[in-house]
Amino acid sequence: MRRVRLDQIDLRILKDLQADGRMTNVELARRAGISAPPCLRRVRALEEAGYIRGYHADLDPEILGFEVMFFALVGLDSQSEAVLSAFERMVAEWDEVRECHMARGPNDFVLKVVARNTAHENELTEKLTAAPHVATVQTIQVIRTSKDLPGVPIEMVPDPHQT
């Protein structure tokens, strides 16, 4: 994977694609102030360099029948690499677990989980509590989400001309 040195045009492309991954290359090029062929080359280079990991649709979980979202703070009885990796492999198989983050602090993992309803949330919590090496589980049910932005604040990426 070759590294691309980002310039202001690349940062604009990343910002626009992060906001709307379905934007046409022609529109993306227009916003970046370049023509379509070099814009497409830049996008491909950004993908190959790993700056762009993929594209997805932002789905509404409630409309699709997942009325509950919760975070699970999980503590394990061991922090050996074998136990940590086994836990990560296990929750990777659970479709309801949408994110799994190893954390520093009083908990080993923070999981973002969706459930059809509170009964389903309870089932998932019980399944998690009974899993191998799980010592503690604390759940936090989301009542309302007021901010949910993808990616990173492109405006805060250091200016490549300021070194």
CA-CA distances (angstroms) from residue 11 to 6, 48, 113? 7, 16, 32
3-state secondary structure of 26: helix
What are 11-42's pLDDT values in tens digits?
999 999 999 999 999 999 999 999 999 999 99
* CATH for 68-141, options being 3.30.70.20, 3.10.129.10, 3.40.50.1100, 3.30.70.920: 3.30.70.920
CA distance 79 to 32: 47
Distance (Å, rounded) from C-alpha 56 to C-alpha 69? 20
Low-confidence ranges of the chain (pLDDT < 70): 1-4, 160-163
Of 58, 2, 61, 40, the residue nearest 28 (C-alpha): 40
Under CATH, which architecture does the 8-57 domain have?
A: Orthogonal Bundle (1.10)
**Whole-number pLDDT of residue 163:** 52
Amino acid, single-letter form, for residue 10: D
pLDDT of residue 158: 81
State the span(s) of the chain assigned CATH 3.30.70.920.
68-141
Phi, psi (degrees; rounded to nearest 5) at 133 = 70, 5
**Predicted pLDDT at 133:** 98
pLDDT of residue 142: 98
> CATH 1.10.10.10 occupies which residues in the chain?
8-57
